[in-house]
Amino acid sequence: MPETMGARNRVISVVETVFRKYGYEPLETPALESMDVLNMKVGEDTGKQIYRVEDGKLGMRFDLTVPLARLVAGNPSIPKPFKRYCIGKVWRREEPQKGRFREFLQADVDVVGSPRMECEAELIACACECLKELGFSDFTVRINNRKIMDAIVKKLGVKAQPEAVFRALDKLGKIGEGGVEQELEGIGVGKKEKDELIGFVSEKGSDEQITTKMEKYSAEGAGELKEILRLCGIYGVGNVSVDMSLMRGLDYYTGPVFEISAGEGVGSIAGGGRYDNLISSYGGGEVPAVGISLGIERIMALLEGKGGKGASLDVYVAAVKPEFYGKSVEAAKKLRGEGLSIQVDVMGRNLRKQLEYANSKGVRFAAIIGQKEAEAGKVTLRNLANGDEKLVSIQEAAKIVRG
Amino acid sequence: MPETMGARNRVISVVETVFRKYGYEPLETPALESMDVLNMKVGEDTGKQIYRVEDGKLGMRFDLTVPLARLVAGNPSIPKPFKRYCIGKVWRREEPQKGRFREFLQADVDVVGSPRMECEAELIACACECLKELGFSDFTVRINNRKIMDAIVKKLGVKAQPEAVFRALDKLGKIGEGGVEQELEGIGVGKKEKDELIGFVSEKGSDEQITTKMEKYSAEGAGELKEILRLCGIYGVGNVSVDMSLMRGLDYYTGPVFEISAGEGVGSIAGGGRYDNLISSYGGGEVPAVGISLGIERIMALLEGKGGKGASLDVYVAAVKPEFYGKSVEAAKKLRGEGLSIQVDVMGRNLRKQLEYANSKGVRFAAIIGQKEAEAGKVTLRNLANGDEKLVSIQEAAKIVRG
């Protein structure tokens, strides 16, 4: 409904303004891609969520990262770093058995072409600034690194695909330890390895303790996490900590992954990670890349109640009788020229009904035009909140409305 | 690419501002609808263009009108008139044999709940104002009325579905008289009726001559066209004329239809019409409605060359050596606080490479930070267009960049 849309437009506008301030440029990608493109490196669970179009030849994008990777692969001459933002819809089939469909709005920023942790820090800082500007104060950033998890899986001699292991571990919060154990068994992970894996992801301690412990599995992975922590300090982003249980569900991540939550138990409102191999999988050569995605619906749900009404209608220009319709259109035109949002009657309603409608829509002022006003070349401006009236010129009316 | 996106964002922003000034409120509808909803009253040709999802249970919207009608039917308590705008993507399979897909951005305004021609006039005026604001000066508005065409088909005793006849006649510009004749034959229209139909749509003359002639077929239809002409006069919209060959391809139109073209032979950039029976076909009771749709890609193609580059990046903050990275992040933060669009290095590049990159991206200024600047708490601001340099504070830099 219009009120919700107004709130949504404000969220989008805030996010877009911050993205631009950080030097990201808009780039949109198609909503439809070939299934070959969409199915690459996303993993089984996500693959199942893709809406298939045209007998399965095409699919609807389930994120904004895959279409970006495909596009960059096809346009190797884009200057690097390529810093883009995209605010657009994605589709995921959440409950296929009921035939229901889900549509989400995501806001993504990505840095393409740099392997350095400066990107991760900037993306996290940029996302945090969006959240601050939107009115969030109590949020936390958790980071982990696929390189460490990869090394652990290898060291334990787990025979299952590492990505399948990550997907299983990713569900710890949703299905609990028992569920994860079952899933790990299902993909052939033995009891001992299973316990060790769950032990790893349950690792607690200070960032320093955890990264030091993880250095023996992947010095590179642990070093990257330390570097992100240091750089986030430069950006003045607090509340960043290492969380070994953070997996992120998608197969395409290759390095650091991160997630931002707003308060305890609310779930994540932003998340992302590094996907250094995704672009090359579309034939684009080795191009490192990393991105973060904000979930607009999730953000709006949390903001609910905080925001006000949608952008209000400023003035309803009401004709006392049909013969003043021309004058009301003229007055509306002038008021629009002052940048105001104006309605005039399109129902042939009498004055009382016009004002009732204006009230029902929450319009702030009515500019009434009858014989007296037409002769004086003025309007009677009525404040619909308190009933105050005044005979004024259009320019005076615009001034009053603008406050 | 980002430059195109910048131009597109500007078009959207102009259009949205005008829509709001006319008192339209944002309302978005889902991109996916059930095929039962999409197939209602759209006609065979358009039906074939719908992308089917989930084994044909769902489809992707091919316009923004049908989802609006479905939504209004399901929410009968919305105060009338309901004036909404929607800027969103639609999908039409234009060349199914090649498996290619097409994605379009449309900007629609609709008035729901009023049968009066004031709506038509306001929508036409609003669309024309959008085009003027975008820089178009040479455009023409053509109007016709399905009621007249319906009456003619009936009077001629044509046995084919009137909508099928309209769809055939709609192709006059595309496939010529011969093609239309063939298509009319195909749906069982006899030779005499065929000639008469083509004679009708080729009718030339002043608006007054044509409407007077059409009065004997549908006094109501001709009266509505006259009323639109009169009301467009009140709105100061010139270049409106009656064109009996204007059909519009969709089956759901029931009354006036209209189209706006920018110059000779360029095709339409906006079009719409009245669809008084569409909402009731979704079980929503009798709710009259009318809308107009602007084709953003078509508009952009015509504007090409007129517009400038995308919203430019204001400042690239360059560190002379890696040890000044922290200072560059700090400076970037302050400049962003001044509302500017700022990039800092994320590649670990040397100064020369940073400035080369900034130049390649068309960034206007570089703020360079080395030992001297760090000690003074200032930056060297270089105008990348002419090479001018100056050691200034962040505040001074922001002032210079803002011009």
DSSP string computed for A203-249: --S-HHHHHHHHTTT-HHHHHHHHHHHHHHHHTT---EEE-TT---S
Q: Is the predicted pLDDT of residue A370 greater than 90, yes or no?
A: yes
Highest mean pLDDT (candidates A190-194, A219-223, B164-168): A219-223
| Phi/psi of residue B40, nearest 5 degrees | -70, 120
CATH code of the domain covering residue B178 = 3.30.930.10
Distance CA B129, CA B107 (A): 14
Report the half-sphere exposure of B341 (CA within 13 A, side-chain side): 20
Same domain, A8 and A132: yes
Q: What percent of chain A has pLDDT over 70?
A: 94
Looking at the complex, report in whole angstroms how far the Cα of residue A158 sits from the nearest Cα belonging to chain B: 36
Give the gap in angstroms from C-alpha A181 to the nearest C-alpha of chain B. 33
pLDDT value of residue A265 = 65
Mutation for testing the A interface, residue in B346, B363, B364 having most A CBs under 10 Å: B346
What whole-number distance in Å separates Cα of residue A6 and Cα of residue A12?
10
Region class of B283: left (phi > 0), else alpha (psi between -120 and 50), else beta: left
Q: Give the closest-approach CA distance of B377 to chain A in angstroms.
A: 17
Give the separation between CA B10 and CA A399, rounded to whole angstroms: 27
Indicate whether B295 and B382 sit together in one domain.
no
Q: In this complex, do B329 and A81 lie within 8 Å of one another by their Cβ atoms?
A: no
CA-to-CA separations, B291 to A228, B15, B64, B69, in angstroms, rounded: 52, 15, 10, 11
- Let me know if residue A308 belongs to a domain: no
CA distance B245 to B222: 15
Same domain for A275 and A238? yes
Check whether residue B210 and residue B289 sit in a common domain.
yes
Contacts of B349 (CB under 8 A, 6+ apart): B357
Asked, for residue A309, whether it belongs to a domain, the answer is no
Could you list the beta-strand ranges (E) of A93-194.
102-112, 139-145
Is the pLDDT reported for residue A35 higher than 60? yes
Q: Does residue A98 register a pLDDT over 60?
A: no
Q: Which amino acid is at A284?
A: G
B303, B330, B362: which is the final residue of a domain? B303
- What are the 10-residue block averages of pLDDT along chain B, 403 residues in total? 72 90 88 88 84 87 94 89 93 65 90 95 95 89 96 90 89 85 90 91 92 95 97 92 91 96 80 96 92 93 60 86 93 90 91 92 93 96 94 96 87
Closest alpha carbon within chain B to A85: B2
Residues of B in Cβ contact (< 8 Å) with A1: 27
Q: Give the pLDDT confidence score for residue B41 in this predicted structure.
A: 80
φ and ψ at B302, to 5 degrees? Answer: -75, -30
- The domain that holds B345 is classified in CATH as 3.40.50.800
B6 CB-near residues (< 8 Å, 6+ apart):
A25, A26, B309, B310, B311
Question: For position B159, what pLDDT does the model report?
Answer: 86
Is residue A114 one of the residues assigned to a domain? yes
Q: So what's the pLDDT on residue B42?
A: 80
Q: Does A290 reside within a domain?
A: yes
Minimal Cα distance from B82: which residue of A?
A: A361
> Cβ separation of B32 and A9 shorter than 8 Å?
no
Q: Is the pLDDT of residue A29 over 90?
A: no
Question: Which of A268, A303, A338 finishes a domain?
Answer: A303
Q: Mind telling me how many Å the CA of B196 is from chain A's nearest CA?
A: 37
Q: How many domains does chain A have?
A: 2
* Domain enclosing residue B249, as ranges: 2-303
Domain identity same for B337 and B297: no
Per the document, the length of chain B is 403
CA-nearest of A196, A195, A213, A216 to A204 is A213
* pLDDT at res. A99: 46
Name the pTM for this structure.
0.81
Residues of B in contact with A328 (CB under 8 A): none
Rounded to an integer, what distance in angstroms lies between the CA atom of residue B283 and that of residue B72?
A: 10
Contact B79 A53 (CB under 8 A): no
- A268 and A349 in a single domain? The answer is no
CA A245, CA A166: separation in Å to the nearest integer? 10
Q: Is residue B308 part of a domain?
A: no
Domain identity same for A232 and A371? no
With contact defined as beta carbons under 8 Å apart, do B321 and B370 qualify?
A: yes
Q: Is residue A292 part of a domain?
A: yes
- For residues B78 and B201, state if they share a domain: yes
Q: Measure in Å the smallest separation between the Cα of A220 and chain B Cα atoms.
A: 18
Does the residue A310 lie in any domain? Answer: no
B45 lies in a domain?
Answer: yes
Does A256 lie in the same domain as A376?
no
Is residue A225 located within the same domain as residue A338?
A: no
DSSP assignments along A180-197, one per residue:
HHHHHHHTT--HHHHHHH
pLDDT value at A184 more than 60 = yes
Q: Are residues A15 and A129 in the same domain?
A: yes
**Residue A55, pLDDT score:** 80
Q: Taking a C-beta distance cutoff of 8 angstroms, is the pair B82, B279 a contact? A: no
Nearest of A344, A338, A351 to residue A317 by alpha carbon: A344
The C-alpha atoms of residue A268 and residue A144 are separated, in whole angstroms, by 15
Burial call A97-109: b when 16+ CB within 10 Å, e when fewer = eeeebeebbbbbb
Q: Number of helices (H) and strands (E) in chain B: give both, helices first.
A: 17, 16
Of A4 and B357, more confident: B357
Q: What is the DSSP string of B188-235?
A: T--HHHHHHHHHHHT--S-HHHHHHHHTTT-HHHHHHHHHHHHHHHHT
d(CA B67, CA A74): 34
Give the pLDDT score at B1: 64
- Give the DSSP letter string of A312-377: PP-EEEEESSGGGHHHHHHHHHHHHHTT--EEE-SS---HHHHHHHHHHTT-SEEEEE-HHHHHHT
Q: Check if the beta carbon of residue B327 is closer than 8 Å to that of residue B369.
A: yes
- Work out the average pLDDT over A102-116: 94
Q: How big is the A-B interface in CB pairs under 8 Å?
A: 176
Boundary-marking domain end, from A303, A334, A367: A303
Residues B270 and B378 in one domain: no
In what side-by-side order are the strands of the sheet with A32-34?
A32-34, A58-60, A52-53, B52-53, B58-60, B32-34
Backbone phi, psi, residue B128, to 5°: -65, -35
Averaged pLDDT for residues A20-39: 88
Distance CA A235, CA A233 (A): 5
Among residues A109, A103, A139, the alpha carbon closest in space to that of A123 is found at A109
Answer positive or negative: Cα dihedral of B371, B373, B379, B381.
negative
What tokens were used for B214?
């059409």
Q: Nearest chain B residue to A84 by CA: give it.
A: B2
DSSP string, B134-187: TT---EEEEEEEHHHHHHHHHHTT--S-HHHHHHHHHTHHHHHHHHHHHHHHHT
DSSP string, B259-301: EEEESTTS-EEEEEEE-TTHHHHTT--S--EEEEEEEHHHHHH
Range of lowest pLDDT (A145-149, A285-289, B338-342):
B338-342
Average pLDDT, chain A: 89
Question: What ipTM was reported for this prediction?
Answer: 0.76
Q: What is the pLDDT of residue A101?
A: 58
Instruction: Label residue A282 by pLDDT band (50, 70, 90).
Output: very high
From the number of C-beta atoms within 10 Å of its C-beta (0-12, 13-18, 19+), residue A385 rates as: exposed
β-strand partners of B392? B379
Contact B53 A57 (CB under 8 A): no
Q: Which helix (H) or strand (E) holds A150?
A: helix A146-155
